[in-house]
Structure formats: C-alpha cells, structure tokens
Amino acid sequence: MASLKDLRGRINSVKNTRKITQAMKMVAAAKLRRAQAQAEAARPYAERMEAILASLGAAVASAPGAPQLLVGTGADRVHLLVVVTADRGLAGAFNTNVGRLARARIRALEAEGKVVKVLTVGRKGAAYLKREFASRIVGEITFMGKKRVEFTDAEAVAVRVTEMLEAGEFDVCSLIYNRFRNVITQIPTDQRLIPTPLPEGEAAAAVGPQALYEYEPGEEAILATLLPRNLAIQIYRAVLESTAGFYGSQMTAMDNATRNAGDMINKLTLNYNRTRQANITRELIEIISGAEAL
Amino acid sequence: MATFLLELVSPEKLLLSRQVEMATIPAAEGEMGVLPGHSPMIVTLRGGVIRVQENGAETERLFVGGGFAEVSPERVTVLADEATPLASLSRADAERRVAEAEAALREIGNDETEAKRDLALDRVLSARAMLDAAQAA
C-alpha cells in the first residue's frame, strides 16, 4: 500500500501533466485555425489550375511525345511514394495512420514484383518507415523550424520529384498523406501524381469544348510550365491539409489526455482520502485498545 | 460600360475577384489588353505588371512574377506565382532578387540543359521586371 506521501506526490505530478496537456491543446487549437485558413486560401488556385489542366491535358495526352510529367514513362515498374507526415508527435495516431497506409502500399506493390522508392516529407514518417524499409528510402525532407510552410517549400519537393523523373528513377508517383476532413477525422489518402490523373468520360465532357481555346505560346510550351507547377500545388495542398490535420489530431489527443489526467486525479484523490481515513481509524483503535488494556 | 470578372489567385490566396472594365496582363509574347468579350485563350505570363481599369480609371496595379491566365468572354482568371500590389514592392527586395537570379544563371553554365537555362533566364527577367516596377511605383 502506497504511503500518504507517495500518493500526494503522484497527485501533484499528474496535476502538472494535466496543466501541460491543457496548454498544448490550447496551442494546437490556435494553430489549427491558422493552418485551416491557409489551406482554404490555397484552394481557389488549385481549383482553377485543375480546370485549365483538364481542358489542356485531354487534348495533348493522346498525342505522341506528350510530356512525361503528364503521361509518365509508359512503364509501371518503379513506384515512388511521397509520404507526407508531421515533424512532431503527440498527436494521437496521426503519423501512425499515414505510416501504416504507406507500409501496406509498399507491401502490396512489392508483392506484385514492383520496385518501390520512398521520399518522406516530415520527420515522423521517416522515423516510422526506416525501421522496416530503410533501403527503399531515397530522400527525406523536413520543414522543421518553419513557422508556416510556404509555396516555395512545396515547390522544392516538386523539383526534386521532377528531377528524379527526368533521370528515369521511377515510373509512377503517388502521394500519401492525411486528408483533412474535419477536426476529429483525418483520412489517410493515396493520391496518384504521375501520370497525372485526368477526368475521363463524362467528367471530361463536363469541362467543355477544349478546341475553343487559343494558346499563346503553343500548347506544349504552356503544358511544360503548367505541369511542374501543378505538381507543386498538389504537394503544397497535401502539406497544408496534413498540417491542419496534425493540429486537429493533436488537439483531440491532448483533450483526451487532459480528461484522462482528470480521471486519474480523481481516482488518486479517492485513494488518498481512504488511506488517510484508514490511518486515523487504525490510530484510534490503537489508542482505545491501549486504554482498555490498562 | 460592360464589365467582366477578373480573378487573380496566387498559390497562397485569392487576391482579387471582381467586375472590371479592362485588364492589361503581361503575357509571355507581349502585353495584352483584355476587354469584355475577348476570345477564349490560355496564355503564359512573364514577370510584369497587371493593370486594372474600372469606371474609366486605372484602379489597381499589381506585380506578378509569372504564371498563367485563362481568358474567356466573360471572365479572366490569372494564376500568378506571386502577386504584390505595386505600392508594397520594395526596391531593396527587388535588387536582391535580381542579384540572386543573375548569380544562379551564371552558375548554370553551358553544360546544363537548355530548359534549365531558360528557366534561370526567365527568373532573371522576372526579377528585372520587378525592379522596374518597384522603381516606377
């Protein structure tokens, strides 16, 4: 049985933990709001970009000599997975969920006899995958120490991917990240980047007649600058969603931790009071039985 | 006078979305004035200044560092890499950027691919346009 002093010590330490988790929850909530605003601000650009790409890409994709960024290398042997996680933990299962999806994908692809390469964005993903797949990791990128992720940061990742494509280091590229649905739900998502997915059938028809547009300079020249930018914006969007999701997840996790700490304090306090009462009762019995013995 | 919807978006935010009478945009092959009812076009942009006219007067001037524009009869969407109102351009920033871009271009040398050199050259031109714009403001 723990002594009263021990119990007091434990109660105090859990109280301190609760203070910390509560503060972290507040911080996460404030940062979440900022991250969400940033993610929303980026949305119009991505949407317009998609529309232009859809009208342009469909026309060019079927032509021979279409850019690799659009149609890929034509092969399907080497897969590059870009895994986006957070740089920090203490956010529940946030990083683990992405890691688990990535692991499942790697396993599935390798079972099909494909070669897998992994590029991690964010420190936690690298740490998670290194244990099992260290030999597949071709690069690690982190945004540690940055207050907010700028578009240029995402562009740097895109440049890296483009360079690898040009060097023929992979055929298909997908992005694995946590899609932000709401504060409590983040959905680990696997999104194909290269070859660029284009709307087909009805969706393509809905985009409207493409032949109407005049291009200046030519279609290929526009596409050549548009595609890298599209890649960057897709990555940027994933990073922003992941950041927003991270703070959402951290907020939930810290809220739970705060509540758990509260429960624990209640239990320990109850225990403490019982022990105190037991001690008093015992002392009384000792005194009374002592007095009776006389 | 007739108007059309001008939208100016950068990756980081939506900067402008309203009805205007005329917009002058720095297309890659020369400045382009767009009035309502323009035939549909998709153009690339170089570094330069977008001018906006409303009610017969120039109301807004913004520097863009490059990007795309989609023109249709009732709407113009400019996807800018970055966009700053001329008033908030700083000359020192522009000068620094010119210096950086020029250094990057020199570094590339002749053994790199043509596409890379073009990209670096575009950066230099865009930075110079920014400096010009900053001086004019």
What are the per-10-residue average pLDDT scores of chain A (294 residues)? Answer: 88 96 95 91 85 75 72 84 91 92 93 92 90 90 83 88 88 91 89 78 49 75 83 90 93 95 96 95 95 90
Q: How are beta strands B48-54 and B57-64 bridged, if at all?
A: antiparallel
Q: What are phi and psi of B3, to 5 degrees?
A: -130, 165
Cα angle, residue A151 at apex, residues B31 and B104 outer, rounded to 5°: 70
Domain boundary among B52, B70, B86: B86
Q: Are residues B9 and B46 in the same domain?
A: yes
For residues B78 and B110, membership in a common domain is answered with no
User: What pTM was computed for the model?
Assistant: 0.83
In angstroms, the CA A132 to CA A147 distance is: 31
One domain, residues B76 and B120: no
- Tens of pLDDT, residue by residue over A60-98, are 766 666 777 777 777 888 999 999 999 988 888 999 999
Yes or no, beta carbons of A52 and B7 under 8 Å apart: no
pLDDT for the residue numbered B93: 81
Residues B80 and B94 in one domain: no
Which one of A44, A226, A236 has the shortest CB-CB distance to B68? A226
For residues A21-43, b (16+ Cβ closer than 10 Å) or e, as one string? bbebbeebbebbeebbebbebbe
Q: Could B44 and A221 be called an inter-chain contact, meaning their C-beta atoms sit closer than 8 Å? A: yes
Q: Are B104 and B44 found together in one domain? A: no
- Are residues B96 and B76 both part of a single domain? no
How many separate domains does chain B show? 2
Q: Give residue B44's domain range.
A: 4-86
Residues B9 and B76 in one domain: yes
Q: Which residues of A touch B44 (CB under 8 A)?
A: 216-217, 221-222, 225
Instruction: Please report, in tens digits, the pLDDT of each residue of chain B (137 residues total).
Output: 788 999 999 888 888 888 999 999 999 888 899 999 898 888 989 888 899 988 888 888 888 888 889 898 888 999 988 888 887 777 788 888 888 888 888 777 666 677 677 777 788 888 888 888 777 76
Q: How many CB atoms lie within 10 A of CB A72?
A: 20
- Facing residues of B54 across strands? B57
Across the interface, whether the CB atoms of B70 and A221 are under 8 A apart is answered no
Nearest to B71 by CA among B24, B107, B124: B24
**CA nearest B119 in A: which residue?**
A225
Distance from CA of A44 to the nearest CA of B (A): 7
**What ipTM does the predicted assembly reach?**
0.77
- Residue of chain B minimizing CA distance to A154: B11
CB A217 to CB B40 under 8 A? no
CB B54 within 8 A of CB B61: no
Helix (H, G, I), strand (E, B) or coil at A88: coil
Pair (B58, B112) in one structural domain: no
Q: Can you tell me the distance from the alpha carbon of A223 to that of A52, in angstroms, rounded to the nearest whole number?
A: 10
Tell me which of 1.10.1370.30, 3.40.1380.10, 2.60.120.640, 3.40.50.720 is the CATH number of domain A43-252: 3.40.1380.10
Claim to verify: residue B77 and residue B95 sit in the same structural domain: no
Instruction: For residues B13 and B39, state if they share a domain.
Output: yes
Do B118 and B69 fall into the same domain?
no
Contacts of B12 in chain A (CB under 8 A): 38, 41-42, 45, 150-151
Distances (CA, A) of A248 to A24, A27, A99, A290, B86: 12, 11, 18, 63, 37
Nearest Cα neighbor of A80 from A134, A115, A117, A129 is A117
Sign of CA dihedral A193, A195, A201, A207: positive
Between positions 8 and 67 of B, the ones with CB within 8 A of A are 9-14, 27-29, 39-44, 67
Q: How many CB atoms lie within 10 A of CB B122?
A: 19
Judgement on whether residues B26 and B76 belong to the same structural domain of the protein: yes
Instruction: Report whether A94 contacts A250 (CB < 8 A).
Output: yes
Sort strands B4-9 and A214-216 into parallel, antiparallel or unpaired.
unpaired
Q: Is the dihedral of CA A235, A240, A246, A249 positive or negative?
A: negative
Cis peptide before A217 (omega within 30 of 0): yes
- B79 to A49: CB separation less than 8 angstroms, yes or no: yes
| Residues of B in Cβ contact (< 8 Å) with A225 | 44, 68
CATH of the domain at B62: 2.60.15.10
A135-169 residue pLDDT tens? 999 988 888 878 788 888 888 899 899 888 888 88
- Give the end of a domain, one of B86, B104, B121: B86
